[in-house]
């Protein structure tokens, strides 16, 4: 997972993509932010990647601002017991908290609910 995360972070920086990837022990949920053409390209590559299955697009819309403007792609995962989480970031990525206080409330609720379902 670390190799994929590192590659994603480097590629995302070049394309001005930001986002958040969460693993709840059984499934992944990801938010990808950036220019629409770049986000659609990434999404198409995810759809074609044989390592992924059961992909569901929850929402695709234009936002007034980014929820994670300083995260090239941070990653949060629950441990095997489902009780403790770990956030993995690169040395140069800022981490003020798991989610920024000004992140949209519905986004915080969606990710929080997904994490608890793990």
Taking the model in full, what pTM does it have? 0.76
Q: What's the chain's length in residues?
A: 118
Q: Quote the pLDDT of residue 91.
A: 53
For residue 62, pLDDT over 60 is answered with: yes
Instruction: Give pairs for 7-14: CB < 8 Å, separation 24+.
Output: 8/72, 8/73, 9/72, 9/73, 9/90, 9/93, 10/72, 12/72, 12/73, 13/72
pLDDT in tens, 1-25: 566 666 777 778 888 898 888 888 8
Closest CA to 115 of 50, 47, 46, 20: 20
For residue 82, pLDDT over 80 is answered with: no
Domains and CATH numbers, the chain: 2-116 (3.30.70.100)
């Amino acid at each position: 997972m670390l190799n994929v995360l590192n590659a994603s972070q480097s590629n995302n920086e070049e394309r001005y993509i930001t986002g958040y990837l969460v693993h709840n022990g059984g499934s992944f949920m990801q938010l990808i932010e950036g220019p629409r053409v770049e986000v659609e390209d990434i999404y198409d590559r995810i759809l074609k990647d044989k390592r992924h299955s059961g992909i569901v697009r929850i929402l695709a819309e234009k936002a007034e601002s980014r929820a994670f403007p300083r995260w090239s792609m941070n990653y949060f995962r629950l441990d095997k017991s489902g009780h403790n989480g770990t956030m993995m970031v690169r040395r140069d990525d800022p981490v003020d908290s798991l989610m920024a206080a000004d992140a949209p409330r519905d986004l915080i609720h969606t990710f929080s609910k997904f994490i608890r379902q793990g």
